[in-house]
Structure 1
Amino acid sequence: MVLTACATPSQSAGGSGSPSALDGVWRTDGYGWVISVKGGQAQTYDTTAISCLPSQTTAQIGQPGPDGTVQYARKGVAVETLRPTANGQGELRLLGTAADIDLTRLPALPAACGRPVTNDPLTNFDIFCQTFKENYNSTVSKNIDWNAVRDKYRPMVTASTTPDQLYQIFVDMITPLGDAHAFIQGPGNNSFSPKRPGTRDEGDVSRKDATTDVNQHLTQDLGVTNIQNFANGKISYADLPGGIGYLRINAFESYGGDHNVFADNSPILANALDQIFTPARVKAWRGLDIDVSFNTGGDDELGLQVASRLTNTAYTAYSKQARNDPNDPTKYGRLRPVTVTPFNGPRYTGPVRVLISDLTVSAGETFTEAMMARTPAPTLVGQTTQGVFADDMTRQLPNGWTFTLGNEQYYAANGHDYEGAGIPPNIQAPVFSKAELAQHADAALDTPW
């Protein structure tokens, strides 16, 4: 299960053993998760039609909220909430994500969840392939027949297949997807994730070099005298000539907290934004450049936190839904709208440009969608984004390897689904090309307002 955190709890109430309205067994609508709740503990299982593997265990913290919402934590930090709703249903929220997940009660834990799973090459292969078949979000758009994929590669797997050989088979299976959210981490911490054909990743462009060269352009060419850095260097700000602000966000994660969860990252981001969005700056800005051209993603909720500083009116940022029929890749659960709510403090509502590229990935892209729905809408400058929007569905195989895939569709406020294709710019400009880096230039930033 992909987990992020929202709040550091005060006092633990887990393990009390007292009955709860949430006690019982729940199945998610899509995602393939079964959650067993009992005595202040929530045990999640990753399921497919052929497997059930225990994922993580979380413990209740604090008391239920007024609507029955209960927080559950790992290592004392909240990572999810569960809430009972009408007619015996419920909702799950993975903290840091942008929308809830519907829950339905089951009479008991599926029998498969009580049986051990064999750790052998064929079992690992079958679970890997079955998980993609039941959940992958681009099966139809990319014209993938997972039965054919299975039939092609399964004869290559035997009881004597080595870990390195099995890992290479998995790499070969997901390479044609061209999907940065299709990821496998195998033996010796070897890992692989494909990318959209014709695009780049961190193996092609050094983030350190790109940041250094842009900073040189700011100071040597644009006359910037002070670049402020926040959030473990993931966020930077500079005042540009002519009353323009420059805000660079390289990720929506890893801001310097102990656990790299929403509970750590959100207050760090809030503190940085408080120092950037001062009353004086907000009043003085003639325009604001937001640079997510090398943003490797993270928590969608952090992107919404930034967007909240840029509007006086609540609005729908985008909507999302997940595959919910393992046997039909065209079937999805209910559409969940995601809202940007204005921040209670200084806000900037003037002209904005968003700098993007093929190195704008995942939460960097959902943030771009949230900005596209803003009034006035920003101008997007640079190159088309990578084209992966879904939260990572993270699974572990019996052999301990982890893999991820996307199982959700995101729809921009204009109704368009940019999964696979990426968000195109309004104004094309080179971003981090060899020529740009060699000359510490930034054509996207230098595009006239």
Structure 2
Amino acid sequence: MNTKNIFFSLSFALSGGAATAQEIPKSLSNTVWLQQGYDRILTIKDSTYSYYNINSVTCKPMIDGVFKDRFKMVSLKKGALIVNPGGIVHYNFTALDQLPANCTREARKELSYPKNFQVFWETFQNNYAFFKERKIDWKAIYDEYFPLVQNAKTDKEFAGILKEIVGKMKDGHIRLDLPDDLKEKPAPIAIATGTVHLRQALLSDLKNTYIKELKSYNGGVLQWGFLKDSKVGYIIISDMNNFANYIPEEQQNSKEFRALYDKISEAKPPQQMFDDEIAGTEKIMKTVLHDLEGSTSMVIDLRFNGGGYETVALKLLSYFVKSKKKVISITAKTSSGFTPKQDYTLYPVEKGYDQPVYLLLGPNTASAAEIFALATLEYPHITRVGSRTSGIFSEILWKELPNGWEFSLSNEIYTDNKGKAYEATGIPVNIEMNYPRKHPDFNNSFYPNEVFKDQALDKVLELELLRK
């Protein structure tokens, strides 16, 4: 799978819901638009579009295709266009008279380190939404590092400066995609205990110890059963993607599953691919709730879920709520402020689950899985257990330096119904289990150690509260 192309697709359609195929209005033909909060340019011809990444130095085409395969029209007024890529975030554009000149010239790499640093710094200045939350003085970063950039003599030196800055941000959605010869091998993991328990082995131990009649869908993206010696249903969701019903049941847990799934998924038009994710979610959830019928409560485990498609997350949640509520608001950072606030209302499915729900969270619960958790704040029958989540909610906005290196940042602010954001802090829990924040220490905390020699494998799944 080409991960970068998927990220570019997600910039349009990570929200993933259905969109009606439609022809574009004639008034949109041969028009040019600047996207607010993303600093990208959209050009529309008769039925096709092109999408450009733009900065103060370069403007480079990023992706193109058939307009109706990508967008649904929301609003078109004089000088203002709003489209929806199939999800919860509308994209706002303002009209331009013509494509900027640097978009029409043949793209040439600008190799000056100061010029590339200037673009890097300006892009964050214009679009990054969380300097305050991450305790970063961005002007001080410029003053500290620009003299070092001016003295840099090699790509390695310049890359080292950018990596040092990114490391200070402590934002899991900020990434540098450097050339292979500049990439470093990951440093050895520092852990508090001597043994490293791997995620897959831990999950296997948990399921074998606590779950009966376990069933699995699409390589384990969703698994379900009952807690042993109880009538409590248990659902563990490892990702918020790969839910499309492409692969026959007998191959869903085979070694070939991933290659088969990716081949089919990548051949789909983008809008169809995301529609398929929602259709697959709906299909499997009917099976899950049928199999867990008669359960007295439900445990939903997101402690090992690093994200995916936010509409998959919210569709899953819709099976466990009883009323429609406004649950999330979203805005994006611009150079002069923010895009108009957008509210998202969650609607319950017709035949959903109507018993108490316990949502398991931890420091590895991230991105779209946190959006699931964020929406639960409006539903008091859902009890959150574990520890606060990772604290990275925004879509990943990919940009490019004039020298061709790519990087990403967080430009969208997700808030609850009261306007509170949880970036950097994460979604809080009702019942605190004090999980370690570092990934390997979190895994190791499930096993006995020198301090807790008689520790249960999973203190949460042994809580009496969950088994009533």
Distance 1:81 1:11 in 2: 7
Query: CA shift at 1:121, angstroms?
Result: 4.7
Whether contact under 8 Å (1:45, 1:54) holds in the other structure is yes
Tell me the amino acid that sits aligned with residue 448 of structure 1: E
**What CA deviation, in whole Å up to 9, does each residue of 1:34-72 have, x standing for no partner?**
101112221111223443222211223xxxxxxxxxx23
Tell me the amino acid that sits aligned with residue 292 of structure 2: R
After superposition, the Cα gap between the structure-2 partners of 1:13 and 1:88, relative to the gap in structure 1 and judged at 3 Å, is closer
Query: CA shift at 1:364, angstroms?
Result: 0.8
Of 232, 237, 249, 2:224 maps to 237
Tell me the amino acid that sits aligned with residue 53 of structure 1: K
- Partner in structure 2 of residue 426 of structure 1: 430
Whether contact under 8 Å (2:28, 2:44) holds in the other structure is no
Distance 1:274 1:399 in 2: 50
Whether contact under 8 Å (1:30, 1:322) holds in the other structure is yes
Q: After alignment, is 253-262 or 296-305 more displaced?
A: 253-262
Of 330, 333, 352, 1:323 maps to 333
Question: Which residues of 2 match residues 2-81 of structure 1 at below 5 A?
Answer: 2-4=11-13, 6=16, 19=26, 21=28, 23-60=30-67, 71-72=68-69, 79-81=70-72
Of 270, 276, 286, 1:274 maps to 286
Whether contact under 8 Å (2:328, 2:374) holds in the other structure is yes
Tell me the amino acid that sits aligned with residue 265 of structure 1: E
Distance 1:159 1:12 in 2: 53
| Secondary structure of 2:81's aligned partner | strand
**What CA deviation, in whole Å up to 9, does each residue of 1:409-428 have, x standing for no partner?**
11112432111111121111
**What CA deviation, in whole Å up to 9, does each residue of 1:240-272 have, x standing for no partner?**
243211111111124445337524432332222
Unpaired stretches in structure 2, ≥5 consecutive residues: 1-7, 244-260, 267-272, 436-441, 449-454
Of 71, 87, 93, 2:84 maps to 93
Of 302, 309, 312, 1:292 maps to 302
Q: Are 1:153 and 2:145 matched, yes or no?
A: yes
- Partner in structure 1 of residue 344 of structure 2: 338
- Partner in structure 2 of residue 114 of structure 1: 104
Whether contact under 8 Å (1:184, 1:191) holds in the other structure is no
**Larger RCO, structures 1/2 (Cα 8 Å, 6+ apart):** 2
Distance 2:341 2:408 in 1: 22
**What TM-score do you get using the length of structure 2 for normalisation?**
0.78
Query: CA shift at 1:118, angstroms?
Result: 2.7
| Secondary structure of 1:417's aligned partner | coil
- Partner in structure 2 of residue 259 of structure 1: 265
Tell me the amino acid that sits aligned with residue 165 of structure 1: E
Distance 1:108 1:411 in 2: 36
Tell me the amino acid that sits aligned with residue 242 of structure 1: S
Distance 1:9 1:410 in 2: 22
Distance 2:59 2:191 in 1: 36
After superposition, the Cα gap between the structure-2 partners of 1:385 and 1:121, relative to the gap in structure 1 and judged at 3 Å, is farther
| Secondary structure of 2:446's aligned partner | helix
Tell me the amino acid that sits aligned with residue 227 of structure 1: L
Q: Are 1:395 and 2:399 matched, yes or no?
A: yes
**Paired residues, what number?**
409
Query: CA shift at 1:437, angstroms?
Result: 3.7
List, as ranges, runs of 4+ consecutive aligned residues in structure 1 with deviation greater than 6 Å. Answer: 7-14, 189-192
Q: Are 1:353 and 2:364 matched, yes or no?
A: no
**What CA deviation, in whole Å up to 9, does each residue of 1:352-385 have, x standing for no partner?**
11100010001110110112222x4311111111
Query: CA shift at 1:302, angstroms?
Result: 0.7
Whether contact under 8 Å (1:21, 1:84) holds in the other structure is no
Query: CA shift at 1:159, angstroms?
Result: 9.5
- Partner in structure 1 of residue 463 of structure 2: 447
Query: CA shift at 1:189, angstroms?
Result: 8.3
Whether contact under 8 Å (1:27, 1:34) holds in the other structure is yes
Query: CA shift at 1:287, angstroms?
Result: 0.8
Distance 2:312 2:287 in 1: 16
- Partner in structure 2 of residue 370 of structure 1: 375
- Partner in structure 1 of residue 411 of structure 2: 407
Q: After alignment, is 118-127 or 314-323 more displaced?
A: 118-127
Query: CA shift at 1:435, angstroms?
Result: 4.0
Q: After alignment, is 380-389 or 236-245 more displaced?
A: 236-245
Query: CA shift at 1:191, angstroms?
Result: 6.6
| Secondary structure of 1:242's aligned partner | coil
Tell me the amino acid that sits aligned with residue 354 of structure 1: L
After superposition, the Cα gap between the structure-2 partners of 1:437 and 1:119, relative to the gap in structure 1 and judged at 3 Å, is farther
**What CA deviation, in whole Å up to 9, does each residue of 1:265-320 have, x standing for no partner?**
32332222121022x734x2211111111111111111111111122322112111
Tell me the amino acid that sits aligned with residue 63 of structure 2: Q
Whether contact under 8 Å (1:213, 1:437) holds in the other structure is no
Whether contact under 8 Å (1:51, 1:127) holds in the other structure is no
Distance 2:47 2:209 in 1: 54
Whether contact under 8 Å (2:237, 2:305) holds in the other structure is yes
Question: Which residues of 2 match residues 129-144 of structure 1 at below 5 A?
Answer: 129-144=121-136
Tell me the amino acid that sits aligned with residue 291 of structure 1: D
| Secondary structure of 1:217's aligned partner | helix
**What TM-score do you get using the length of structure 1 for normalisation?**
0.81
Distance 1:419 1:175 in 2: 17
Distance 1:409 1:430 in 2: 27
| Secondary structure of 1:209's aligned partner | helix
- Partner in structure 2 of residue 63 of structure 1: none
Distance 2:110 2:344 in 1: 40
Query: CA shift at 1:210, angstroms?
Result: 2.8
Question: Which residues of 2 match residues 220-231 of structure 1 at below 5 A?
Answer: 224=212, 226-231=213-218
Query: CA shift at 1:25, angstroms?
Result: 0.9
After superposition, the Cα gap between the structure-2 partners of 1:360 and 1:8, relative to the gap in structure 1 and judged at 3 Å, is closer
Distance 2:297 2:182 in 1: 44
The sequence identity of aligned pairs, in percent, is: 24
Whether contact under 8 Å (1:319, 1:410) holds in the other structure is yes
Question: Which residues of 2 match residues 175-190 of structure 1 at below 5 A?
Answer: 175-188=167-180
After superposition, the Cα gap between the structure-2 partners of 1:118 and 1:147, relative to the gap in structure 1 and judged at 3 Å, is farther
Distance 1:35 1:269 in 2: 31
Distance 1:391 1:367 in 2: 14
Unpaired stretches in structure 1, ≥5 consecutive residues: 61-70, 73-78
- Partner in structure 1 of residue 208 of structure 2: 216
After superposition, the Cα gap between the structure-2 partners of 1:3 and 1:399, relative to the gap in structure 1 and judged at 3 Å, is farther
Distance 2:242 2:392 in 1: 20
CA RMSD of aligned residues (A): 3.1
